[in-house]
Chains A and B, each alone.
Chain A
């Protein structure tokens, strides 16, 4: 049997899905986190169920892509029951969808989620009465607090889901406002089933909003919050952990490894593979893991808190000058983490034009994998101002994205005006457990990437920098295969301030995975993964201007391979995707040129 989780956006379906399946799907606090249905297995006693987490919808009318998809999916999936997840604190609005679901004639259970918040609001819902009127079982759960879940499971296993005989008295006839009719029924149902026991305490969400959404202060507050995020990410705390990792690599790890290799009598090329390849290429990146992790934790805190939708609201007007809507800001902020889910999340945007345009801006939004570049260059060359310098790089990305959006919306994507209607969720605090799980997922993903993609790439780079074109061992990297190649392409970058073959090659190797820019620079600099030597090399090879130009170029020039693949898929047009890649390369070139020559 199939279990379909259906409900409004941001009502906690994915949290419930994770509890039921033991999964670790991403949870956020804004409408539209889940853009694609997710599948999982639910095991109750010895029975197995297939469970689907569907994108959140407000109604079954085919107004938006998700609503169309969900409606079709309900019709197609045989032998299934619906678990209608309802945000109990938002009962009135949620019941609208419920009434439409009842008409689908599919067995259903209603799960009133966030029952814990309901208590705080001083409200009591008469579950039995609600269940009697609607003709389906109603239970109260809290996915966040993990309560009521066993009741839900036992309802499922006892096959208690029922098809309701309830129908809205007005048929969907012409000339009558159907939505109005449903809400009339909801209002009388609410009067019947909901009691306010006490006056709710002062709403802390409203208090926070009084400050953060102040008409004049909302943008300064937003900038201040983002600045603090970067200040903490690149502050002394993370740098000292980085240095500690660097020292450990140099003093402990390398010593023991050399000892072990000598003990095993390993041939010299194996020594070289480790000392000139894997250590500087793969392990060097671990120096930047503290920054990657901290930035991720802070961003997911912001995402979970519910502040993101408010920023979309604040930015709506500003973005409209550039041919975008405020809702485009949410994928952009997600893009600070990773461009792939950010591109997927563009599906929540209200129109095709908005969606395609925002996808094409994603290469300009700085993702986590580019972070080692900034951490390295800002840390080595800008020392005291590193937080501000990195913040400026992120702002540069958004600024370039907006300029490109303006140009594209005036040429390729002619404007079709559409609305901005977005639910603003209350502020919520994530639990420590939630943050740790998400952060660990991120670190795990990084470790896997380091152990696979980065490792393979590093070995390849090591080969091409150790051997000459005739496969003799090169006496210096200057004569290696990669140097020959690098010297052919490097002149293009002379006007940008980094014409050295090592930097040019590093950028090229960085295309499959952005971490490889720093990795390959570290390998090509022949500093054997020694942090001090490598930093010294960077200090000697780059000026402040050329370093900033290099950072800007790394930010803009080309998305990574998985992003490119996702772009092709989501844009659904080879022409558009290729155009987008060419666009990002030329934009990067132009921006870096301006930075190096005119600033």
Chain B
């Protein structure tokens, strides 16, 4: 699946492509299958993203965002 996440878009989490320590952490922080993510901000130099999930903001790196599998 092409993972083209742009600013302002939203997507529903399906799962994770690879399981690792970071995915465990993301799950604990509420990024679970079925939940909707909103991509709100991006850092300069293509660093990371700030996403809104469960009504709060969390900053994650691009690599972590790309590891999330989204529906459709």
How many angstroms from the CA of A433 to the CA of B37 in the assembled complex?
A: 38
| B47: contacting residue among A58, A93, A326, CB under 8 A | A326
List of B residues within 8 angstroms of A419 by Cβ? 21-22, 25, 60-61, 64
Known: A213-B41, A215-B42. A316 touches B61 (CB 8 A): yes
Q: Are A420 and B30 in contact (CB under 8 A)?
A: no
List of A residues within 8 angstroms of B61 by Cβ? 316, 419-420
Q: A316-B47, A424-B59 are in contact. List 19 more A-B contacts (CB 8 A).
A: A58-B28, A89-B56, A96-B28, A179-B24, A179-B27, A216-B44, A219-B44, A313-B41, A313-B50, A316-B43, A316-B48, A316-B61, A317-B45, A318-B45, A318-B47, A418-B22, A420-B48, A424-B50, A424-B58
A286 within 8 A of partner (CB): no
Contact flags (1/0) for A247-280 with B, using CB distance below 8 Å? 0000000000000000000000000000000000
B residues 1-42 near A (Cβ < 8 Å) are 7, 21-22, 24-30, 32-33, 35, 40-42
Known: A420-B48, A421-B26. A93 touches B54 (CB 8 A): yes
Q: List 11 A-B contacts (CB under 8 A).
A: A90-B54, A96-B29, A177-B32, A179-B24, A209-B41, A213-B50, A313-B43, A317-B45, A421-B58, A421-B64, A423-B56
How many angstroms from the CA of A326 to the CA of B59 in the assembled complex?
A: 11
Q: DSSP majority for the A interface?
A: helix
A47 within 8 A of partner (CB): no
Closest chain-A Cβ to B32's Cβ sits at a distance in Å of: 5
List of B residues within 8 angstroms of A209 by Cβ? 40-41, 50
B57 within 8 A of partner (CB): yes
In this complex, the member of A58, A92, A180, A424 whose beta carbon has the largest number of chain B beta carbons within 10 angstroms is A424
List of A residues within 8 angstroms of B28 by Cβ? 58-59, 61, 63, 96, 179
- Chain B residues proximal to chain A, CB less than 8 Å: 7, 21-22, 24-30, 32-33, 35, 40-48, 50, 54-61, 64
List of A residues within 8 angstroms of B56 by Cβ? 89-90, 93, 423-424
A183 within 8 A of partner (CB): yes
Q: Are A421 and B25 in contact (CB under 8 A)?
A: yes
List of A residues within 8 angstroms of B25 by Cβ? 58, 63, 419, 421
How many angstroms from the CA of A219 to the CA of B43 in the assembled complex?
A: 9
Contact flags (1/0) for A219-263 with B, using CB distance below 8 Å? 100000000000000000000000000000000000000000000
List of A residues within 8 angstroms of B60 by Cβ? 419-421
Q: DSSP majority for the B interface?
A: mixed
Q: Are B29 and A423 in contact (CB under 8 A)?
A: yes
How many angstroms from the CA of A9 to the CA of B24 in the assembled complex?
A: 18
A408 within 8 A of partner (CB): no
Closest chain-A Cβ to B69's Cβ sits at a distance in Å of: 14
List of A residues within 8 angstroms of B46 by Cβ? 317
A314 within 8 A of partner (CB): yes
How many angstroms from the CA of A39 to the CA of B27 in the assembled complex?
A: 32
How many angstroms from the CA of A5 to the CA of B60 in the assembled complex?
A: 28
How many angstroms from the CA of A420 to the CA of B55 in the assembled complex?
A: 20
Q: Are B32 and A313 in contact (CB under 8 A)?
A: no
Q: Are A180 and B29 in contact (CB under 8 A)?
A: no
Q: Are A424 and B43 in contact (CB under 8 A)?
A: no
A460 within 8 A of partner (CB): no
How many angstroms from the CA of A93 to the CA of B43 in the assembled complex?
A: 24
How many angstroms from the CA of A359 to the CA of B35 in the assembled complex?
A: 38
A392 within 8 A of partner (CB): no
Closest chain-A Cβ to B14's Cβ sits at a distance in Å of: 12
How many angstroms from the CA of A218 to the CA of B24 in the assembled complex?
A: 30
How many angstroms from the CA of A424 to the CA of B46 in the assembled complex?
A: 18
Closest chain-A Cβ to B25's Cβ sits at a distance in Å of: 5
Q: Are A422 and B58 in contact (CB under 8 A)?
A: yes
A309 within 8 A of partner (CB): yes
Closest chain-B Cβ to A222's Cβ sits at a distance in Å of: 10
A residues 14-38 near B (Cβ < 8 Å) are none
Known: A419-B64, A421-B59. A58 touches B43 (CB 8 A): no
Closest chain-A Cβ to B16's Cβ sits at a distance in Å of: 10
User: B24's closest neighbor in chain A, by CB?
Assistant: A63
